Structures are given as structure tokens and as C-alpha cells.
Amino acid sequence: MKPNTVGSYGGWLDRLQSGGPGALSLRRGRWPSLAGWRRVARARVLRDMACPATGPAPKVRVTALEQCDGLHIEHLTWRLPFGPPTEALFLKPAGARGRLPAVLALHCHGGIKALGWRKIARGRSPGPAHLMAHRPGYYDGTFWANELAHRGYAVLAHDVFPFASRGVRVRDVIHRVQAGAPAQEPRTAAAVGRYNQWAGGHEHVMAKALFNAGTTWPGVVFAEDRVALDLLCARKDVDPRRVGCGGLSGGGLRTVLLAGLDDRIRAAVCAGFMTTWRDLATAKCWTHAWMSHIPLLPAVLDFPEILGLRAPLPALVLSTRQDDLFTLGEMRRADRMLREIWRKAGAPHAYRTTFRPGPHQFNRPMQRQAFAFFDRWLGRKTSPT
């Protein structure tokens, strides 16, 4: 028996997924049209995620304006019908005119819930040093959202539930659940460490609460990301016909969901989050957050096929061969699924994946590849207003 996280049940789980493509898979060859498959399968994904209603587009408030390192930077906030205000950073080249191609930059999970957009973007101040410790390993020391803005893009990076401004406030949960949390909001290095540890241990409680409230963690995240996309596309300095998204790890998961379900995303880059439900159910179940669990969906559609719902629109998947979050065999199986989907969509040229050496990361070479992909499919030339 292969090692797994559920002992003797591992073989049973493998057998559950050994019967070939799920009922809603394009790979079954039973769909008369690509459009029909996308319509039915997207509806099922949305049903199983049970996204909460977000209401009309919220009003965006600019809390600060900065000019830094050749960039125009706006600190933004908006309110959703639930939770505290969302904080975000918008960046574009200083002095840019007309409508720019744009990218929604999606931050990772990383076990660091005290940070959201600050993991990948910066204003004039990068923030306290103790909040930046994860960046050298994950992002090769860069703020990749800023790097992309320097190339001529408008970039929006926002906090998403339950990170940073959208995080769970310790004072708001019942007393029994507060055990181990810092007494005050996390501001010092010690308090941030305690908060991240508490928030990680709180995930299963939060996930159960969301299930019992009729929604899911990925459903909440997708709903919030879709609002951010609405706001980005509505800006007068953004060309809504040339909008992409991308991110690492949890940001890669968010890319799969948003790009798979919303055709306004014209180019998608998923870094460090591509595998199969089999991987997430057996060998690697232990290492993933509840953020990746969509109950019932694995019975009819495999994880890579969610991203495949965007075919024939372009997608780039960036994986690393020594990524501890996934098994290499299942990452490669996911790639085969995606190649088949794009072939069936008549656009094999629009899908690409790479397997680079190294651990879980979105380093500078991977970023350069992602930026070149955005350049190819979105272009950097400004459109008239």
C-alpha cells in the first residue's frame, strides 16, 4: 500500500478516482460542444462552492496617494456586506495615459495570515521587517506586483479572506476559540508569530462554521476576488479587454478558480498550485489548507479541469519538481489533462506548463516567464481612453 494520510482508507480513495474522468469531464468525449460543457461544468463548480452574495459593486475609497520608484500608487479600501473593510494597493507607471493592460495580483497563503497584499506589493514603505521574512524564499526577494507595474501594467493587489485586513479578529470569536491567540492585534514580531500560529490552528473551526452557514472557504475567496476584478475592470485607466490574473500557491489556487470561471481574465498564470484531487485526498492532504476543499465537486470534475474551463483562452502553469506540496507524478498527470482539454478546444498553443528545478516558489526566472506570457497575450501598448 502506498503511503497516504488516511491509512488503509488510502486504497479505497484511490479506487474512487480510478474509474476514469468524472461525469462532467470534457475528456469523456460526450459533450457536443465546448460551450455546452463550460456552461454546465461552471454552474456545478459555482454551486458546490456556494459563494456568498456580495451585492452591488462597493464604493472604492482612496486612503493615500504616493509616487515611488517611478510608479503611481493608490492605497484603496472598500466594504463588502460581510467582514471588515478590504485593503488593497493599485499600481501603474507614473505618468501613464490612456487605458492600460491590467493584472489582478493574487497573494499566497503561506501560513501567514497577518499579511495579504503586502506579500507581493509595496508602497513607499515595504512594512515592518518581521512581516517580510517569507519573501526571499517564496518570491526571490521581489515584490512581483511592482515589477509587473514597471513593465507598463496596471496592477491591483488586495487582501482576501481571511488575511490581513480581511482576517479573523481574535476579539470577535467566542472565548473558547481564542485560546493561544495574542491578546492584542498582531503588531510586534512575537504577536504576529502567535497570531499566525493561532490562525492556522483555527482553520478547521472556520471551515466547519462556513460549511454550516451554507458556504465554503473557496466560495468566499472566489466571491471576493470577483469583486476585485469588477473594480479593476471598471477603472478608466484600465482596458477591460486586456486583463489577466496570477499568483503563487494560494494565489495559484485563486487563479484556477477565477480564471476558470470568469472569461474577463484573458491570460492566467498559476504558479505552485497544480495537481489532482487524488493528490489532495491522499499523499498530500495533510499539507494543504481548508482553502482548497470544494465538497462534492471531485466526484464529477478533477481539479485541473477547473482551470480547463477557460479553454481556449490562454493559461500558463508554473510548477517546480521539488515542491513538497504535491507529488511530481500527479502534477504531471494534471498537465496531461490540461493539454488534452486545450487540444479538444482547438487551441493547444494557448496552454503551456513548465517544471523547473527547486522547491515551492515563484522566483525571478519564473516571474520573467510569467511576465513574458502576459506581454504576449495582453500586450503592453496603451489603448486610447
pLDDT along the chain (385 residues), means of 10: 62 63 90 94 98 96 96 98 96 96 96 92 80 73 96 98 89 74 69 82 90 95 98 98 97 98 98 93 79 92 97 98 94 97 96 96 97 94 65
Please report whether residue 82 resides in a domain. Answer: yes
Please report whether residue 20 resides in a domain. Answer: no
pLDDT of res. 384: 63
Please report whether residue 12 resides in a domain. Answer: no
Please report whether residue 352 resides in a domain. Answer: yes
Please report whether residue 42 resides in a domain. Answer: no
Please report whether residue 10 resides in a domain. Answer: no
pLDDT of res. 193: 82
CATH number for position 193: 3.40.50.1820
Identity of the amino acid at 61: R
pLDDT of res. 29: 84
pLDDT of res. 265: 98
Alpha helices in 157-249 (DSSP H): 189-212, 217-234
Please report whether residue 253 resides in a domain. Answer: yes
Pull the grid cell for residue 239. 482596458
Strand (E) or helix (H) holding 88: strand 86-93
pLDDT of res. 109: 93
Pull the grid cell for residue 369. 516567464
Domain of 71? 50-378
pLDDT of res. 363: 96
Count of domains in the chain? 1
Which region holds residue 95: left if phi is over 0, alpha if psi is between -120 and 50, else beta? Answer: left
Please report whether residue 32 resides in a domain. Answer: no
